[in-house]
Amino acid sequence: MASPSHGRTAALSLQLSDAHQDLRRRLADLRAGLGRPQSDGDDRLLTHCLAFCTALTNHHQGEDGGLFAQLLRERPDLAPTIDKLVEDHGLITHILARVRHLADQAATTPGADLQAIGGELDGLAAIMDSHFGYEERAIGAALDAGVDDDGWSEPVLRFTAPGTAAP
């Protein structure tokens, strides 16, 4: 007999997709904001970059240490898929580090060239789109089949760091 959390995890595949849509929207807003004049300098750009980078990082850390770890315990056959997704997370982490660095430079350098940030965000958007699509197909099917939720869903779906409350 399936545990009570199995029914809940079938809905989690939809929530995972919704979380990805929210991250896509946040990135699109960030990209759109690059071309707008900023009355308060580029501090707002830095704040928005850091907020987005933090949300995406927390989401991926929650997947790596929570969702994926749980899936590997219950579905070892998903190891190659999860390895690929974790590899993508590493690539995305490097891009986010470059975005943070460039946003920090833009905040402290008058007349900074925002095209470099835009280029990084464009590349990030393409990688995220591919990554999220693959993850939703592969991991969504596993969630639909039922996976115990020992608390891994909170940071994955609500962009919080492990051990913190949702905003």
Q: Give the domain extent around 119.
A: 4-158
Q: What is the CATH number of the domain that holds 33?
A: 1.20.120.520
pTM beyond 0.85: the answer is no
Dihedral, CA atoms, 70, 23, 56, 127, nearest 10 degrees? Answer: 90
> What does the alpha-carbon distance between residue 23 and residue 52 come to, in Å, rounded to a whole number?
8
pLDDT, tens digit (0-9, with 9 covering 90-100), for 113-167: 788 888 999 999 999 999 999 999 999 888 888 777 777 777 777 765 444 444 4
φ and ψ of 42, to 5 deg: -100, 10
3-state secondary structure at position 37: coil
Residue 79 lies in a domain: yes
- pLDDT at residue 61 tops 80: yes
Residue 165 lies in a domain: no
**Helical spans, DSSP H, in the chain:** 4-33, 43-62, 68-74, 79-108, 115-145, 153-158
Which of 59, 62, 11, 109 lies closest to 117, judged by CA? 109
Total tally of structural domains belonging to the chain = 1
Residue 143 lies in a domain: yes
Residue 146 lies in a domain: yes
Residue 38 lies in a domain: yes
